[in-house]
């Protein structure tokens, strides 16, 4: 990565800017909240059939890394990112709160693939992810599979030989899931 890119500012701003463009392309008018109150980075607004609708978005910008953090996982996944989170981060979810993961790559532009979760769904996924620090925190390892290109969240950190329901959660349905905002 070039020195210029490293000094570009907060990566959150880059993620939120990319998110605004993606959300606008999907029929929403995004507004920055500036104060990250109640986990809201962006407010979305649109008029549909004469009624105004609102959604709340928290943006998570994360970098993808080529291959996976462990040599055994490279056989299963092409890229991986990780995100450490409090176990109860989204326990107080609201029906209008969504979490949008925008992905970047150290040597490329922002990925076109995003994952958009209703906050309640993300809370359930977090509870099935590996715990750290006495269970108060969890780590989401989000990976793109070598075969089938599906997206998965690891259920455990230790070595596993294959992708199945015991080792991973398939989160492919959240890929570019802008219809969830309906």
pLDDT (tens digit per residue) in 6-46: 444 566 777 888 888 889 988 898 888 666 667 788 899 99
Q: Which residue has the tokens 């407010």?
A: 43
d(CA 133, CA 130): 10
d(CA 64, CA 147): 18
On the CB side of 11, how many CA atoms lie within 13 Å of its CA? Answer: 14
| pLDDT tens string 95-110 | 899 999 998 776 666 6
d(CA 28, CA 77): 33
- What does DSSP say about strands 65-66 and 51-63: parallel, antiparallel, or unpaired? unpaired
> Which SS3 state, helix, strand or coil, does residue 177 take?
coil
Residue 17 confidence (pLDDT): 83
Could you tell me how many helices (H) and strands (E) the chain has, helices first?
Answer: 3, 11
Residue 1 confidence (pLDDT): 42
Tokens of 18: 């990319």
Q: Residue 178's CB: how many other CB atoms inside 10 A?
A: 16
d(CA 156, CA 76): 14
Residue 176 confidence (pLDDT): 92
Q: How many residues does the chain have?
A: 182
Average pLDDT, the chain: 84
Return the DSSP state at 130.
Answer: P
Q: Tell whether the model's pLDDT for residue 3 goes beyond 50.
A: no
- Mean pLDDT of the region 119-145: 91
Residue 107 confidence (pLDDT): 61
Q: From the centroid of its chain, how far is CA 16? A: 12
Tokens of 165: 């329901």
Contact 155, 167 (CB under 8 A): yes
d(CA 113, CA 62): 12
């Amino acid at each position: 990565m070039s020195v210029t890119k490293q000094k570009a500012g907060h990566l959150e701003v880059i993620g939120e800017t990319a998110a605004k463009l993606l959300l606008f392309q999907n029929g929403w008018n995004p507004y920055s909240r500036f104060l990250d109150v109640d986990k809201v980075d962006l407010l979305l607004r649109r008029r549909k059939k004469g009624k105004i609708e609102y959604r709340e978005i928290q943006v998570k910008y994360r970098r993808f890394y080529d291959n996976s953090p462990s040599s055994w996982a490279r056989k299963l996944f092409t890229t991986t990112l990780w995100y450490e989170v409090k176990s109860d981060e989204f326990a107080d979810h609201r029906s209008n709160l969504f979490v949008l993961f925008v992905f970047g790559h150290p040597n490329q532009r922002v990925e076109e693939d995003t994952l958009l979760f209703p906050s309640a769904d993300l809370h359930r996924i977090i509870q099935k992810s590996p715990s750290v620090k006495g269970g108060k925190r969890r780590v989401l390892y989000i990976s793109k599979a070598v075969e089938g290109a599906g997206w998965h969240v690891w259920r455990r950190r230790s070595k596993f030989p294959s992708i199945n329901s015991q080792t991973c959660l398939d989160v492919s349905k959240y890929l570019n899931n802008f219809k969830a905002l309906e």
